[in-house]
């Protein structure tokens, strides 16, 4: 395996959750990868400019920043807080050196905290998924001018429907594209994350549409494994360990004209217990075996 083969392979920092920014960058560089995906808390800890220097100094790119979003609040204070936080995220993305700011848009506001069930005082309006989705559209419209000014793209992420109640009311790639449609492609894009969309009967056509519309901003990979972990959020597996047809999906993404980085993002307690360098090497190996040949 030559190092060049891994030039589009990116390690998302969530995959090595317990690594510092320096350890992440060192692990990705040691494994011969081309990029890293960052999360805001790390960037904030290091300082965005310092984080940018650390990544560039190791010869790597920042493939994306996670994450903006959580846009479903219905009350004025909640809306103002969401807009303020997302403006900060946009500035951080620009400063750390990536155009692609991944958005997880939030669940039904009936939820006070993920996994807790509806609030005892939840009213009928709190279960109104159609209205929550409409608020997401409104908040994207609010943020688009600021993102455009900063040269940052709002990258809408469809989350698996099992997270529709508490994490993200965007549940399919087609829905993400519908929400993006009113806005310029360079300012609102979408991400294909295999974990969230692998099951979608419309996946092939919606990936093609994303390419046609110039909105395919990121390709994130990890596998669907069973049984689900006790915390389903952390139930993802290394590419090749589960049910996802990476040959088909990677070919669709490539066929749609995507030439960007392929970011491995895995939430999994067992993988988090591994050494970051070992994880980075596995990420590179699995990418080379299951994904690269189909790009």
Q: Please, which residue, 163 or 258, has the CB nearer to a second copy?
A: 163
Q: How far is CA 26 from the centre of its chain?
A: 22
Rule CB under 8 A: is residue 247 a binding residue for a second copy?
yes
Is the separation of the CB atoms in 208 and 252 below 8 Å? yes
Q: Would you say 11 and 28 are in contact if contact means Cβ atoms under 8 Å apart?
A: yes
Residues 6+ apart with CB under 8 A from 203: 173, 197, 249, 252
Q: Is 24 left (phi over 0), alpha (psi -120 to 50) or beta?
A: alpha
Query: According to the binding rule CB under 8 A, does residue 224 interact with a second copy?
Result: yes
Residue from 2, 77, 120, 230 that binds a second copy (CB under 8 A)? 230
**Least Cβ distance, residue 51 to a second copy (angstroms):** 34
d(CA 181, CA 213): 9
Q: Which is nearer to a second copy, 245 or 274 (CB)?
A: 245
Check binding of 201 to a second copy (CB under 8 A): yes
Count the site residues for a second copy by CB under 8 A: 46
E strand or H helix at 11, and its extent? strand 9-12
User: What is the bridge-based pairing of β-strands 262-264 and 100-104?
Assistant: unpaired
Which phi and psi angles does 118 have, rounded to 5°? -65, 150
Ranges within 169-198 binding a second copy (CB under 8 A):
171-172, 174-175, 178, 198
Between CA 64 and CA 261 the distance in angstroms is: 9
CB of 112 to a second copy, least distance (A): 12
**Site membership for a second copy, residue 53 (CB under 8 A):** no
Please tell me whether residue 244 binds a second copy under the rule CB under 8 A: yes
* Shortest spacing between CB 58 and a second copy, in angstroms: 35
Choosing from 145, 161, 182, 293, the residue that interacts with a second copy (CB under 8 A) is 161
Q: Is 226 one of the binding residues for a second copy (CB under 8 A)?
A: yes
Considering only 17, 40, 61, 160, the residue that binds a second copy (CB under 8 A) is: 160
Examine residue 291 and tell whether it contacts a second copy (CB under 8 A): no
The two structure tokens encoding residue 195: 């974990």
Contacts of 122 (CB under 8 A, 6+ apart): 110
Residue 190 or 244 with smaller CB distance to a second copy: 244
For a second copy, which residue of 127, 137, 209, 211 counts as binding (CB under 8 A)?
Answer: 127
164 binds a second copy (CB under 8 A): yes
Which range in 44-52, 85-93, 144-152, 226-234 contacts a second copy by CB under 8 A? Answer: 226-234
Query: How, if at all, do strands 236-237 and 223-224 pair?
Result: antiparallel
118 lines the binding site for a second copy (CB under 8 A) = yes
The residue (of 223 and 261) whose beta carbon lies closer to a second copy is 223
Give first-to-last CA distance, the chain, whole Å: 16
Nearer to a second copy, 13 or 264 (CB): 264
Question: In Å, what is the CA distance from 198 to each residue of 190, 202, 247, 249?
Answer: 15, 10, 12, 8
* Interacting residue ranges for a second copy, rule: CB under 8 A: 108, 110-111, 114-118, 124, 127-130, 133, 160-162, 164-166, 171-172, 174-175, 178, 198-202, 204, 224-228, 230-232, 241-245, 247-248
């Amino acid at each position: 395996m030559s190092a060049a083969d891994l030039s589009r392979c990116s390690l998302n920092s969530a995959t090595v959750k317990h690594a510092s920014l320096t350890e992440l960058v060192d692990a990705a560089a040691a494994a011969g990868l081309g990029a890293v995906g960052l999360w805001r808390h790390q960037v904030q800890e290091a300082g965005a400019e310092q984080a940018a220097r650390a990544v560039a100094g190791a010869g790597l790119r920042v493939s994306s920043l996670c994450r903006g979003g959580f846009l479903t609040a219905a009350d004025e204070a909640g809306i103002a807080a969401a807009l303020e936080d997302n403006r900060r995220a946009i500035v951080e993305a620009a400063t750390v050196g990536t155009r692609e700011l991944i958005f997880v848009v939030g669940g039904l506001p009936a939820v006070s905290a993920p996994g807790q069930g509806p609030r005892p005082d939840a009213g009928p309006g709190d279960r109104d998924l159609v209205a929550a989705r409409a608020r997401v559209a409104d908040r994207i419209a609010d943020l688009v001018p600021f993102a455009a000014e900063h040269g940052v793209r709002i990258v809408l992420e469809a989350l698996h429907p099992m997270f529709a109640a508490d994490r993200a009311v965007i549940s399919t790639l087609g829905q993400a594209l519908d929400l993006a449609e009113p806005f310029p492609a360079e300012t609102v894009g979408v991400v294909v994350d295999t974990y969230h969309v692998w099951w979608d009967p419309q996946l092939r056509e919606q990936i093609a549409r994303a390419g046609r519309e110039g909105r395919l901003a990121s390709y994130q990979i990890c596998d669907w494994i069973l049984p689900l972990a006790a915390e389903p959020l952390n139930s993802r597996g290394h590419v090749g360990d589960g049910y996802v047809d990476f040959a088909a999906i990677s070919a669709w993404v490539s066929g749609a004209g995507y030439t960007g980085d392929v970011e491995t993002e895995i939430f999994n307690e067992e993988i988090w217990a591994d050494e970051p360098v070992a994880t980075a090497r596995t990420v590179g190996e699995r990418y080379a075996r299951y994904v690269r040949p189909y790009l």
